[in-house]
Amino acid sequence: QVQLVESGGELVQAGGSLRLSCAASGRTSTISAMGWFRQAPGKEREFVAAITWSGSNTVYADSVKGRFTISRDNAKNTVYLQMNSLKPEDTAVYYCAATKITIMTIKRFYDYWGQGTQVTVSS
């Protein structure tokens, strides 16, 4: 099993920045890639960004490309999501997820999920 714990969500003004963290523990050797998803009230959970466990490849949703950056720290088993130029429409609960398959944009292929962290962007 893999445990994921997110942190870093808070209230921020539009145009501001936040960095989310996701610490992985347990059988991290089984992880192939990590992803961030988000879910706004009344909406489906959507893909935001993903990175291979090695950190060599990344993929982003079009809505965040150029504003968000996903990265990882191998020594700390932690994945980060740097979010810049935040917009009110970025308001959501952000979830970290891990997959044993490969880098993925589709949530059903992720095996492990964190509890989520709330990001609120005020206008």
Contact 31, 99 (CB under 8 A): yes
pLDDT in tens, 76-85: 999 999 999 9
Contact 94, 9 (CB under 8 A): yes
What is the predicted pLDDT for the residue at 74?
Answer: 84
How buried is residue 76: exposed, middle or buried, by Cβ count under 10 Å (0-12/13-18/19+)? exposed
* C-alpha–C-alpha distance, residues 61 and 38, integer Å: 11
As a whole number, mean pLDDT of residues 75-97 equals 97
Q: Does the pLDDT value for residue 68 go beyond 90?
A: yes
* C-alpha–C-alpha distance, residues 120 and 89, integer Å: 9
Q: Does the pLDDT value for residue 102 go beyond 90?
A: no
As a whole number, mean pLDDT of residues 92-99 equals 98
Nearest to 39 by CA among 114, 116, 121, 123: 116
Label the pairing between strands 117-122 and 11-13. Answer: parallel
Nearest to 31 by CA among 50, 1, 16, 53: 53
Q: Does the pLDDT value for residue 104 go beyond 90?
A: no
What is the predicted pLDDT for the residue at 67?
Answer: 98
Q: What are phi and psi of 76, to 5 degrees?
A: -100, 0
The Cα diameter of the chain in Å comes to 42
pLDDT in tens, 10-57: 999 999 999 999 999 999 999 999 999 999 999 999 999 999 988 889
